[in-house]
Chains A and B, each alone.
Chain A
Amino acid sequence: MGKDFYIGWKDEAPESNKKNIKRLLITLMVIISVIAMVLVVFSKSFTTHTFEFGQEKTFSGVLYVHPFPVLKLDKGQSPYKGNDYALLVGYGKFGASTYLQGAKIPKGDLSGKRVTISGTLIYGDGKVLIELTEKEKSLLEIENTVPPSAFSEKNRATMNGEIIDPKCWFGVMKPAEGKVHKSCAIRCISGGIPPVFRMGDSGSSYNYYVLLDETGNLLREEILPYVGESIKVQGSLSEINGWPVLEIDPDLIKYQ
């Protein structure tokens, strides 16, 4: 008989095989452990944004529907002092508008009315969103009418940044920017979640603006090719229902 010969269906492998395999596996496990360490330690840090998944709560305040749905929360309900304006988004990758229009309780024009809703908080970087987790059933009560919110004055501006979907960015997904999240953001914005322009470079502090067209309506399909990319936009800055907005001509968006 020649040298040691391994046969899988025999009970024992030759000692020389055992020794070599053991040595190889230990070496590989050490290398793999180092690789795992490198992958985790050197990856970009996740944001501290929060999605209170599974913790549905009741919120009350004044509802504004146009051009995007916002609930001005009653005092003490926002996780951030000084920002009571919660952007409303739908369940999954949908905006909240459809659910509000489809709610079963009698309503008429909802804008400017006091409402009670159920939903799940999403918050980060000073911004607040509420997911209408129960879809049409999220609108619980409508009370008396209050005066509509005032729109602020407009200023022209040019800025660099990225179009994100605010639902994922402010807590539902991590990471929720760039190439890895591009498809998801496209689905969310296509489904009616208001597109948000995040101004600033990675690692710096950001400013956020809901993107509208020049007639004041939410942008959707027109801006999908630019979602998740580094772009330059120019338009009119203002504030609507507590949220900074940027009205732009999507044809003037430029890649950086």
Chain B
Amino acid sequence: MGVEYAGVLWNKQKKQYDKIMAFAILWMVILFVVLHLVFQPDFTAETLIIRTSAFVAFTLLNFILIIGPLARLQPAFLPLLYNRRHLGVTMFFFAAIHGIFSIIQFHALGNINPIVSVFLSNTKYEAISEFPFQVLGFFALIILFLMAITSHDFWLKNLSPKFWKGLHMMVYLAYTLIVLHVATGILQYENNLLYWMLLIGSFGLVAGLHLASAWKERKWRKTQVYQLEKDNFFEVATVKEIPDNCGKGIWIADQNIAIFKYNNCLSAVNNVCRHQMGPLAEGQVVEGCITCPWHGYQYQPEDGQSPPPFHEKLETYQLAVLNGKIWVNPDPMPEGTYVAPIKITD
């Protein structure tokens, strides 16, 4: 969390994350170049740049896209999520090298504008295998560019989290365009079955993990059936099932609620982090604050407000405890409203 905007709010783990990322990318680049020197020594420098940047960018994009569902399925992988933004911007950098070099190589120094050439040199838009694949890559690069330049909390705040999230969800459109770009481009030339297996395999991995994560979420929601007791309070959990300083997420009357147990008390807030919509119930109460598992954003459990000087606020909910059972009123209180924590009595 930061009060002021800075280029990057460095901390020890971000530095570590970036060092590992830089090492991995360097390894991929060196490996790809060495493999060419050994097995394909007649390459041209331009082709090597175009192919290496494509390999690094597409590998990173696949990795970036599996981080989300991986962390949802297994919280042990949450550290990968923390600084994913740097990974995304780096991926764009390599995608841009690929795109710009390809446009220069194949479309520049000709009798029409290079960008116009991307769209008008091959005009077989009606065909599948002959489709001008460059166009697909071009639009994907535009999306990745928009994402890269807005990959900062300044834009998250100023565009609003909802709009920002919507913009960044376009990565799935970009990914689809890139898969089609590869399928209708290089795989029409390098038609070895192994390449098709790799492309379909990577797409299957990304899609499969997302489906598994969605299935887990759906299964969880299906269990969220509660009986109304009285005065709009629903019995949703037992006190014992929530470990100390931990939360439980419930879905009731279209409300996504996180109930936390801490200091022998219970409080309930909206389950969606205001930063990037992380699942707060999967976080913990640390130093008296609910802490989001994704990026460590914090909220006071009793009023849903981020501790001063921060300004983020969540809706709060009224709770009651009867005979070791927790009851919640799903009508949200306005964001930041103080609701006295419920004391747990044996």
Contacts and interface: CB of A to CB of B under 8 A. Distances in A.
Interface of A: 1-2, 5-13, 16-18, 20-21, 24-25, 28-29, 32-33, 35-48, 51, 91-94, 172-175, 177-184, 186-188, 190-191, 225, 229
B283 A5 contact: yes
B108 A92 contact: yes
A9 B198 CA distance: 36
A7 B291 contact: yes
A180 B129 CA distance: 11
Given A9-B296, A36-B32, A180 B83 contact: no
Nearest to B37: A40
B184 to A, nearest CB: 8
5 contacts: A2-B284, A8-B79, A16-B76, A179-B189, A188-B110
Contacts of B284: 1-2, 5
B194 A46 contact: no
Contact of B79 (A6, A178, A186): A6
Contact of B105 (A17, A29, A173): A173
Interface in B101-120: 105-112, 117-118
Interface of B: 1, 11-14, 20, 24, 27-28, 31-32, 35-36, 39-40, 42-44, 46-47, 55, 59, 63, 74-80, 82-83, 105-112, 117-118, 121-122, 124, 129-130, 132-134, 184-186, 188-190, 192, 194-195, 198, 243-246, 283-284, 286, 291, 293, 295-296
A175 to B, nearest CB: 7
Q: Which 9 A-B pairs have the closest CB atoms?
A: A92-B109, A8-B82, A183-B121, A187-B110, A93-B110, A46-B42, A40-B35, A20-B76, A184-B106
A6 B78 contact: yes
Nearest to B190: A43
A95 to B, nearest CB: 10
Contact of A42 (B130, B185, B186, B194): B194
Contacts of B13: 8-11, 13
Given A183-B117, A191-B110, 20 more contacts: A6-B75, A8-B295, A8-B296, A9-B11, A11-B11, A21-B79, A25-B20, A29-B24, A29-B27, A32-B59, A35-B59, A40-B32, A173-B105, A177-B189, A182-B121, A182-B122, A186-B122, A187-B111, A187-B117, A190-B111
A170 B110 CA distance: 18
Nearest to B81: A8
A43 B188 CA distance: 12
Contacts of B192: 42-43
Nearest to B132: A183
A93 B111 contact: yes
Contact of A44 (B24, B111, B134, B189): B189
A210 B92 CA distance: 42
Contacts of A24: 77, 80
Contact of A21 (B55, B80, B195): B80
Contacts of B12: 11-12
B245 A1 contact: yes
Contacts of B121: 182-184, 186-187
Nearest to A37: B35
A174 B186 CA distance: 13
Contacts of A93: 109-111
Given A2-B243, A5-B284, A43 B77 contact: no
B40 A43 contact: yes
A46 B41 CA distance: 8
A120 to B, nearest CB: 14
A1 to B, nearest CB: 5
A1 B286 CA distance: 9
Given A1-B284, A173-B105, A180-B185, A17 B79 contact: yes
Nearest to B111: A191
Contacts of B117: 183, 187
A46 B43 contact: yes
A178 B189 contact: yes
